[in-house]
Every structure is written in C-alpha cells, then in structure tokens.
C-alpha cells in the first residue's frame, strides 16, 4: 500500500474506533467516520466496502493492541497470580487509554453479526484463564475457587472498569485487585 493510502486506511480505522466507541455499531455513521478521518466517502468505500468490514478492522486493531500485553503476562517470570494482577491492571489501563481496544470491546458486546457478543476483546480472556489454571496448579488459589468462575469475575472486573463513576478506573485497579486477590488467593502457609 502506498504511503498516502496507508495513512488514509489508518485514519479511517482510528476515526471508526472513535465512532464505534462513542456510539456503538448501530449508531455509528459512515459519514461522520469519513469526516473525522478528513477523507471522502469515496475513499472510505475504497478501503472498506461495508460498515461491517470497518468494524472488523477496528476489532483487529483492538486485538493487535491486546496481544503483546497478554503475551507479556504469559511469559513473565512472576508467579501466576502476580502476572494475573499485572495483566488485569494493564488491560484496564489499555481500555482507558486506547480507543481501538475500547471500540473492539464495545463491538464484541453490541456489534454486528460476526462478533462474539458479550465477550471481551478476543485474546485476553484466554490469557486470564491460562494464568488462573497455572495458579491453581501451583496451589495458589483458595480451595474451591474454580478457574473458570474466577476468569468470569476478572472479565467482569475489567469490563466493568469502563463504568467507573470517578472516571479513573486505572487509578483504583490496584486497590480493587488487592480485594479480589484476597478472595482468590490461598492462605499463606503457616510459619
């Protein structure tokens, strides 16, 4: 792709992410996306034939932003629960600061057909589950805490960070995680 075409393509994805994040899939307007990207409708339809194709490009941008965060947590030398805490904090901050990730999450909740519906941005839930399974195998989870249920709780925690009434979920996520860890973590061995 030529430089100018690549810049237009990227500008359209960013503009669409802002629009999908703000208005959802149904409320998003191709004309507003085109205007926000400072390009013509012809350029938009050249790069993306449908609103659904544009939504899929935004989803892909969200997955691309999430992938290195998850990969970093899965390969970290930290204990599984510590890596899980770090991943949770990083995901909340990514949702707070990256419009493509927020838009991808919203599209997964209420986007067009082809989305997974009511699921987080693909990739991170699997990382959370894997870290919880590692923690369970290491004996780091409280007895009776099923990794799948804990993964659901953490999914709600991360997704719920979007509705923080104070508007600064990233500033509180460490404190919230301490409460969650108290409920998930096994009691320290005596001694």
> What confidence score (pLDDT) does residue 87 get?
92
How far, in Å, CA of 62 to CA of 149, rounded? 25
Specify whether the CB–CB gap between 76 and 86 falls below 8 A. Answer: yes
Going 121 to 122 to 125 to 130, the CA torsion angle's sign is: negative
Query: Which of 70, 92, 97, 73 lies closest to 83, judged by CA?
Result: 73
Residues of the chain with pLDDT under 70: 1, 111-122, 161-191
pLDDT digits (tens, 9 = 90+) for 108-137: 877 665 554 445 566 788 899 999 999 999
Q: List the chain domain ranges.
A: 3-184
* Number of alpha carbons in the 13 Å side-chain half-sphere of residue 104: 27
- Predicted local confidence at residue 7, as pLDDT: 94
- Structure-token pair, residue 21: 């994040």
Q: Which pLDDT belongs to residue 185?
A: 61
SS3 state of residue 185 = strand
Residue whose pair of structure tokens reads 């519906």 in the numeric block? 117
* Sign of the CA dihedral with 13 first, then 17, 18, and 24 last: positive
Q: What is the pLDDT of residue 177?
A: 64
Domain 3-184 carries which CATH code? 1.10.357.10
């Amino acid at each position: 792709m030529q430089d100018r075409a690549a810049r237009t393509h990227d500008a359209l994805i960013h503009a669409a992410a802002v629009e999908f994040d703000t208005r959802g899939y149904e409320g998003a307007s191709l004309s507003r996306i085109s205007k926000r990207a400072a390009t013509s409708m012809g350029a938009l339809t050249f790069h993306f034939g449908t609103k659904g194709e544009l939504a899929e490009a935004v989803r892909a941008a969200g997955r691309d932003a999430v992938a290195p965060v998850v990969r970093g947590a899965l390969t970290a030398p930290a204990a599984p629960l510590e890596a899980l805490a770090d991943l949770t904090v990083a995901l909340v901050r990514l949702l707070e600061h990256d419009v493509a990730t927020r838009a991808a999450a919203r599209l997964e909740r209420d986007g067009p057909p082809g989305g997974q519906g009511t699921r987080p941005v693909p990739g991170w839930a699997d990382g959370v589950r894997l870290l919880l399974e590692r923690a369970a195998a290491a004996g780091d989870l409280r007895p009776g805490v099923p990794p799948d249920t804990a993964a659901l709780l953490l999914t709600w925690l991360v997704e719920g960070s979007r509705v923080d009434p104070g508007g600064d979920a990233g500033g509180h996520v460490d404190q919230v995680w301490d409460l969650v860890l108290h409920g998930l973590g096994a009691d320290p061995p005596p001694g």
